[in-house]
Amino acid sequence: MKYTTKVIGDKGEDYAAAYLEKHGCKILERNYRTRYGEIDIIAQKKDTTLFVEVKTRHNNPLERPFKAVDYRKQQRILRTAMTYIRERQLDGNYRCDICEVYVDRNTLELLRINYYENAFVPGNGYGYG
């Protein structure tokens, strides 16, 4: 069966949300949109708000999904996150994470998840190797 990009992306976000909940996070929002952009998942873990970009791909060892979160995309996410923080008058810590979700091309069954905490930070680009 051939799945649309939207169906694949939505399934990946479902897997990412379940992963976060399994690791002690509370999901606050999904697909939060502003004029600056969209954040796939906003979650809370203790006193830290997580802004999570989810990238879902078929299992292709040559393609690294986090690379799709380029500097421009990072800046859109950061502006959107700051809007969320201002609107909710949040105190505490926050971070921007990337969740890579790999699914089977034919069944959309979860193959694996790579999760990068502090994947990028304001002004410095990627926060990991």
CA distances from 59 to 19, 54, 128 (A): 18, 15, 22
Query: Is the confidence at residue 6, as pLDDT, over 70?
Result: yes
pLDDT tens, position by position, 8-37: 999 999 999 999 999 999 999 999 999 999
User: 53: buried, middle or exposed (CB in 10 Å: 19+, 13-18, 0-12)?
Assistant: buried
25 compared with 5, residue with greater pLDDT: 25
Question: Helix, strand or coil for residue 53?
Answer: strand
pLDDT tens, position by position, 99-128: 999 999 899 999 999 999 999 886 544 444
What domains sit in the chain, N to C, each tagged with a CATH number? 5-126 (3.40.1350.10)
